[in-house]
A = this chain, B = another copy of it.
Amino acid sequence: MARSTLPPEMLALIAHRLRALAEPARLGILNQLRTGERSVTELVEVTGLGQANVSKHLQILLGAGFVRRRKEGVHSYYRLADHDVFRVCDIMCGRLEAEAGARRKLLRSS
């Protein structure tokens, strides 16, 4: 899986996918989906975002393949496509903890 080098087109694709994740509102939506599928209205209620805004974020996440949609009558239920998102979040959280640790160490030694 590990690549020695990444061609420009691949970098562009990766960047495009990451861009879909690099938004607090979208991460919040994905975080809500962690416990199961939700309708748009439910996501509006639980996130406090506007309906149009949630819908737009969901289209972006859908386009980037991070969520899947199931239509049932008048409702659209969204669910996580997989858990890659949280693997990425865990890596970032690890970074944040490392940074916090480094800061503590710096403070103690000063």
A109 contacts the other chain (CB 8 A) = no
This protein's copies in its complex:
2
A contact residues, range: 35 or more
A35 to chain B, nearest CB (A): 9
Interchain CB contact under 8 A, A22 and B31 = no
29 residue pairs A–B, Cβ–Cβ below 8 Å: A1-B90, A2-B86, A2-B90, A3-B89, A6-B31, A6-B89, A8-B28, A10-B93, A10-B96, A11-B24, A11-B31, A12-B24, A13-B92, A13-B96, A14-B27, A14-B89, A14-B92, A14-B96, A15-B21, A15-B24, A15-B26, A15-B27, A18-B21, A18-B92, A21-B22, A65-B95, A65-B99, A84-B94, A88-B88
